[in-house]
């Protein structure tokens, strides 16, 4: 069978949606770092719709910061790929928004030239939490990439390095204004990126800073669409449906949402024409997403793994876990979380859990469990501090933290842990006895690595004692049984 490419568009079956625009007419106004599945099923879909509406300058040049794999797959099919929407019905759409992919380690200068290119009005990124190299919420100057970029910016290693070095060139050329927009599940991602870029500019080119202040905006956004890793089954199904081989299709749920901080310096792509929302204050939207959707995802991932589930929807079939997730959000997190006007917290929570039940779109607990040391500091810790500060209930959050510690221990034991800190976590795991002090020591070790020391709950004796008790109970009884006997949860 032939490979999907431009020539195949003319002969696709009628039920497959294809680009309405001619690819040669499209130019890239966007440079995107991190061309993974999430980007391809989210932002690229919004761009694809813009292109369909004749907004032809919002094609995307992608940058892979590490692996050439995505470039290799997509270059062989003219950067076209299929997005499968998996719900009650299945829909296939061939997407043409990606124009090209640069692999940064192969040619760092090509990436810098794009950052400096005045046709690029918007730089976006989905590089996952660990891509930001933070420690306790601050730029980690000892992380190898950051340390490298602090010494030498000629061949950057980090997102901060690529943007800073590219901005130095853009400033020298007196290039056009530009917006840098974070599209990861991060609190105040725009500010995080700005802070890192400024550290590097201070070090290497302080004279560029005034130009950046004047010409570059750093913005945040709330992104949402459940997008699993591509399975062999999906490749097979897509190839059957198209009649052409697609080596890199991507599946996603029907739901999609993108709320963008309206803080642009360059031209603002009209994403509001295709369903995105521009808002002045992004913070409440970020909080709601992280504290409800991502928080419960991480809870279900840890607890589902402990119960023996492979997928999130399976964990939700266990009534104790389903009830836990719902109550944790409604009883512990909602009371301390400001929900934007016009939005109902309870409805949002119910809808999120209904989306997670979508069995047409299996989402692996180990995918959510990936990099959990970087995720829970965004998803659970701020709400936990808020609950303790105002004396509200926090028993579910304590149980979740304890379950996470058990998840780390068990995943290490099974060789399942995929985490940038897995070596350090493994060292913290080495306890000889199994009395309460040892359990507590191990758990504190894990939590320190996950950045807990910069949160108040970590020094709250009563809360941490409770976490330890829950951890011991989970280790002894298993997660479901531990939940059923945990009296504090019924209070
Ligand atoms: C998930 C997210 O894998 C994970 O950690 O919680 O990727 C989640 O699916 C998306 O944020 C949904 O928008």
Distance in Å, CA 294 to ligand 1 centroid:
6
The CATH architecture annotation of domain 6-281 reads 3-Layer(aba) Sandwich (3.40)
Angle CA 60–86–5, to nearest 5: 45
| Higher pLDDT pick, 348 / 491 | 348
Token pair, residue 37, equals 């599945």
Mind listing the pLDDT tens digit for each residue in 431-449?
Answer: 666 677 788 899 999 999 9
Mind listing the pLDDT tens digit for each residue in 151-164?
Answer: 999 999 999 999 99
Q: Model pTM?
A: 0.96
Distance in Å, CA 297 to ligand 1 centroid:
7
In whole angstroms, give the CA distance from residue 306 to residue 322.
14
| H-type alpha helices, 220-318 | 232-242, 283-288, 295-307, 312-315
Q: CA dist 303 to 73, 390, 429, Å? A: 35, 27, 19
Residue 26 · residue 54 · CB < 8 Å: no
In whole angstroms, give the CA distance from residue 96 to residue 88.
25
The CATH architecture annotation of domain 284-486 reads Orthogonal Bundle (1.10)
Distance in Å, CA 368 to ligand 1 centroid:
7
**Largest distance between two CA atoms of the chain:** 68
SS3 220: strand
Distance in Å, CA 227 to ligand 1 centroid:
7
Domain boundaries, the chain: 6-281, 284-486
Mind listing the pLDDT tens digit for each residue in 92-136?
Answer: 999 999 999 999 999 999 999 999 999 999 999 999 999 999 998
Looking at the chain, the whole-number percentage of residues with pLDDT higher than 70 is: 99
**Alpha-carbon dihedral sign for residues 200, 203, 204, 207:** positive
The DSSP output letter for 266 is: S
Strands 28-33 and 59-64, sheet pairing: parallel
Position 438 scores a pLDDT of: 82
Measured from CB, residues less than 6 Å from any atom of ligand 1 are 185, 224-226, 294, 297, 367-368, 375
Q: What is the overall mean pLDDT for the chain? A: 96
Report which ligand 1 atom has the smallest distance to the Cα of 371: 5
- Dihedral, 115, 121, 122, 123 alpha carbons, nearest 10: 0
């Amino acid at each position: 069978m032939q490979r999907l490419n431009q020539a195949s568009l003319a002969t696709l079956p009628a039920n497959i949606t294809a680009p309405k625009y001619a690819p040669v007419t499209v130019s890239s106004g966007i440079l995107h770092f991190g061309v993974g599945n999430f980007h391809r099923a989210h932002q690229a879909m919004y761009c694809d719709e813009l292109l369909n509406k004749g907004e032809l300058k919002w094609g995307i040049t992608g940058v892979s910061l590490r692996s050439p794999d995505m470039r290799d797959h997509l270059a062989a099919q003219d950067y076209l790929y299929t997005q499968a929407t998996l719900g009650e019905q299945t829909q296939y759409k061939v997407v043409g928004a990606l124009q090209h992919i640069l692999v940064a380690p192969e040619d760092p200068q090509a990436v810098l030239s794009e950052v400096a290119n005045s046709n690029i009005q918007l730089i976006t990124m989905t590089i996952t939490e660990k891509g930001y190299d933070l420690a306790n919420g601050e730029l980690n100057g000892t992380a190898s990439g950051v340390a490298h970029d602090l010494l030498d910016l000629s061949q950057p290693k980090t997102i901060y390095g690529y943007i800073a070095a590219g901005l130095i060139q853009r400033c020298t050329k007196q290039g056009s204004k530009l917006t840098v927009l974070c599209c990861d599940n991060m609190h105040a991602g725009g500010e995080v990126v700005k802070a890192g870029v400024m550290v590097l500019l201070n070090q290497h080119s302080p004279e560029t800073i005034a130009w950046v202040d004047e010409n570059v905006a750093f913005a945040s956004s709330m992104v949402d669409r459940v997008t699993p890793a591509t399975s062999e089954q999906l490749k097979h199904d897509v190839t059957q449906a198209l009649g052409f081989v697609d080596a890199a299709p991507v599946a996603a749920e029907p739901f999609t949402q993108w709320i963008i901080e309206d803080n642009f310096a360059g031209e603002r792509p009209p994403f509001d024409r295709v369903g995105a929302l521009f808002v002045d204050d992004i913070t409440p939207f970020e909080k709601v997403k992280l504290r409800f959707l991502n928080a419960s995802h991480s809870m279900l991932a840890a607890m589902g793994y402990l119960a023996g589930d492979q997928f999130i929807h399976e964990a939700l079939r266990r009534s104790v876990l389903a009830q836990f997730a719902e109550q944790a959000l409604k009883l512990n997190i909602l009371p301390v979380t400001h929900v934007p006007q016009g939005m109902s917290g309870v409805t949002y929570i119910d809808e999120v859990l209904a989306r997670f039940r979508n069995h047409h779109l299996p989402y692996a607990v180990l995918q959510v469990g990936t990099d959990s040391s970087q995720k829970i500091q965004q998803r659970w810790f701020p709400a936990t501090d808020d609950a303790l500060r105002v004396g509200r209930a926090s028993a579910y959050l304590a149980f979740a933290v304890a379950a996470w510690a058990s998840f780390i221990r068990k995943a290490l034991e099974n060789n399942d842990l995929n985490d940038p800190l897995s070596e350090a976590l493994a060292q913290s795991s080495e306890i000889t006895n199994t009395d309460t002090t040892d359990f507590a020591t191990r758990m504190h070790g894990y939590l320190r690595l996950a950045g807990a020391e910069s949160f108040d709950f970590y020094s709250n004796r009563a809360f941490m004692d409770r976490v330890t008790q829950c951890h011991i109970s989970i280790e002894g009884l298993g997660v479901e049984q531990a939940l059923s006997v945990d009296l504090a949860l019924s209070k």
